[in-house]
Amino acid sequence: MKNPPKIADATGKLGVLLVGLGAVSTTTIAGVLAVRRGLAPPIGALTQMGTIRLGKRTEGRSPLIKEFVPLAALDNVVFGAWDLFQDNAYEAAKTAGVLEADLLEQVKPELEAIEPMAAVFDRRYVKRLDGPNVKKGKTKKDLAEQLIEDMRRFKKAHNCDRLVMVWCGSTEVFLTESPAHATLAAFEKALEANDDNIPSSMIYAYAAIKQGLPYANAAPNLSADVPALLELASQTGSPLAGKDLKTGQTLIKTIIAPGLKARLLGVEGWYSTNILGNRDGEVLDDPESFKTKEESKKSVLDYILQPNLYPELYKDLCHVVRINYYPPRGDNKEGWDNIDIFGWLNYKMQLKVNFLCRDSILAAPIVLDVALFLDLAKRAGMEGIQEWLSFYFKSPMHAPGLYPEHDLFIQSMKLKNTLRFLRGEDLITHLGLEYYD
């Protein structure tokens, strides 16, 4: 095993730049401000509340993760954002309707100070949205250079030592890799030519990676996960993670499905329906954006259940995913699943799951964790795909030729073993035979 890397100091300000100032972004920002002031605990944030076991079980060493690895302190985090609407973070949070007014009032001055920068936005890729706060440029390369200038100005104005970018924008229409994505040279030529295969999210990703920033994609659309941008990341040292935050229904799938497979119980059908009324639901009401989300949500079971290895149990699985835009629900999402399973002697059984959740409440701590862990990766000299952060995503980025790991429990082990490696601690296999010698 390689020696653990040296990790640069975490002191100094970390600028977290969020693309989109909607429900997820404002809930993240307001939540961090509330936690900093002791108004609420950081529930759901592994970086803030999680512990990590070190050594043997008999040693009793389980420090907080934030005390084990040098993460940026919340007091040193500064937020910025781009958005196609001009509302500041306080106004945007009120519009999103996720957080109670009493909490927002307590952090109002800090939220009002966050004015969104003009966004790179093209309605061809997100058809259900439009807004006035949009950049103009002759080419997509010009728009990328404007974003780079935004980053430089923000870093200087807020005296930040480092920056990290997280795409929290809406799901774009479904795209597949094209020749424009094959090499960095082809990509930059496509930027100059305003190629339709370069959506807004890729312009942000290019700008961030060009500057060596860590970049994460919280949505399911094609973004940094193309050969051209992986090539650029290898040149600039950018750590990358994504895509599509694992929050509601898919989180439950990655908890239940590994258990069914571990006990070799067959699955005949898995029917999933979502009811969602926020901006994300409105965007996904467009069939082309839904196609992007559907691909992300449906791939999970294929990789967890491995029908190629267990054809008798999973080969003929009928997996259906539906998302219904229902405005009265707002950010309170409901996901229900009907799971038809079979066991010993082919006897049939069913599971019913009804998850009434709050989409942005589940997503916000993930945005925080991913930003802090990507900053750690950058300071540790870890570039390119950060597969150890798969824990947070529906469609985890992975090396070419590998299948993605979707099992939540394997993902958790991978994440914590990476942290152990970074600090020179023994990796934990859970073999445990030494306790019985």
| The pLDDT value given to residue 347 | 98
What are the start-end ranges of the H helices in 14-81? 23-36, 46-49, 65-68
Pairing of strands 266-276, 332-342: antiparallel
pLDDT in tens, 78-125: 999 999 999 999 999 999 999 999 999 999 999 999 999 999 999 999
Q: Is 10 helix (H, G, I), strand (E, B) or coil?
A: coil
| The pLDDT value given to residue 431 | 86
In the predicted model, is pLDDT for residue 171 greater than 70? yes
| The pLDDT value given to residue 281 | 64
Give the helix, strand, coil percentages of the chain, each rounded to 5. Answer: 45, 20, 35
pLDDT in tens, 280-334: 666 766 676 666 666 656 678 989 999 999 999 999 999 998 888 888 887 788 8
d(CA 17, CA 213): 10
Q: Which helix (H) or strand (E) covers residue 16, if one does?
A: strand 13-19
The overall pTM is greater than 0.75: yes
| Mean local confidence (pLDDT), 410-418 | 97
Give me the DSSP letters along 316-372.
T-EEEEEEEE-GGGTTEEEEEEEEEEE-GGG-EEEEEEEEEEEHHHHHHHHHHHHHH
d(CA 415, CA 418): 5
Highest mean pLDDT among 129-133, 345-349, 405-409: 345-349
d(CA 114, CA 123): 25
